Structure 1
């Protein structure tokens, strides 16, 4: 579904990524991990078109994303959440999720202005779908609450529901459990598994090793802009380069 082929990125004289290659299979949960500053968020920004690679190709369902404008990436079926939460805090949870559906509503500005039947039917359908998505993250009982009144963990889950509202084929999660307590992490893990089981493919970047190891089907490890390991959680867990990147090299006595 998603393939990075020999992707590099530099900003002036600073080489952030070098010859990065990996692929994400449809219907899987793929994790990209690495220490802080390894280049993980740069990869997400490349995939979503916020920046362009200096070399290499990024392909989504066979299409090269290099020529696709950032605002058209969502139309191809890619949605993302952000490490820093970006929700509309003065809107209700329901309204936040409906906002994510704008390209699917299918009514004209004229029908909206005069509140014609096509507008009313589309709005009713959107609200029903929004409630369904909120139920996936266990927030449907707070649908009419202002988003600003949610806890930090609940705001992260609301952002996830809004991303799902775009009906993506691939969901990109940028450090989804950052700032969450252990109980919230366990709950979100189950919800992400359920989302995958509903037919979505998921690509996440995360620094919480335990969360990724328990959740992902395949993992790639990024360190200083290079992929140092790829494989199953079990393979990655015991890779000497990964252990060194996270724990440091043991000094010889």
Structure 2
């Protein structure tokens, strides 16, 4: 589904990524781990068009994303959540999810301005779909509450529902368990598995190695802007370079 081919990113004299290559297969959960400053968030910013690579090629479902605008990348089927939760706290859960559907609502400016039947039908269908997505993340019983009333873990699940409202083929999760306690992490792991089982492909970046090892089908490890390992969780946890990157090299 997704290929990074020899991707490099440089800011002035600072090389953030160097010849990064990996493949995200369709239908699974792919994880990228690495210490702070390894370049993980830069990978997501390149993939979503917020940054452009200095060199190399990013291919999504056969299409080169090199010159594609961020909103067009969303239309192609890539959605993202952020490490810092970005929901509209003064809006209801239902309204938050409907916002994510704006690219798929076809009623025109006149329909909106004059409240025409086409607009009302589209709004009704959007709200029905939003309730369905909220049920996927077990928040449908709170659909009409303000988002600010949710716990931290519930806000993260709402963000998932809003991302899914864009009808993505690939869902990007940026450090989804940052700031969570063990119980919330376990609940969120189940939510991500549920998303996968509904036919979505998931690509997440995360610091929590235990979480990633228990969830992902394949994992890539980024360190100082380079991929040092890629494989199954069993491959990664026994890789000497990965152990050194996380634990340091033992002095002789």
TM over 0.5: yes
Matched-pair contact (CA < 8 Å) for 1:99–1:162: yes
Aligned partners of 1:115, 1:71: CA distance in 2, in Å?
A: 26
What do the CA deviations read for 1:151-201 (whole angstroms, capped 9, x no partner)?
111111111110000000000000001011111111111111111111100
Deviation at 1:53, TM superposition (A): 0.3
Segments of 5+ residues of structure 1 without an aligned counterpart are none
List structure 1 runs of 4+ shifted beyond 2 angstroms: none
Aligned partners of 1:53, 1:247: CA distance in 2, in Å?
A: 30
Aligned to 1:245: 245
Deviation at 1:148, TM superposition (A): 1.2
Aligned to 2:196: 196
Aligned partners of 1:154, 1:198: CA distance in 2, in Å?
A: 20
Aligned partners of 1:104, 1:70: CA distance in 2, in Å?
A: 16
TM-score of the aligned structures, taking structure 1 as reference length: 0.98
Aligned partners of 1:180, 1:134: CA distance in 2, in Å?
A: 20
Q: 2:144 is paired with a residue of what secondary structure? A: coil
How many corresponding residue pairs?
A: 252
Q: 1:58 is paired with a residue of what secondary structure? A: strand
Matches within 5 A, 1:13-162: 13-162=13-162
Q: 1:66 is paired with a residue of what secondary structure? A: coil
Deviation at 1:121, TM superposition (A): 1.2
Matched-pair contact (CA < 8 Å) for 1:153–1:179: no
Q: 2:26 is paired with a residue of what secondary structure? A: coil
Q: 1:193 is paired with a residue of what secondary structure? A: helix
The range that moved more, 218-227 or 100-109, is 100-109
Aligned to 2:220: 220
Aligned partners of 1:14, 1:118: CA distance in 2, in Å?
A: 52
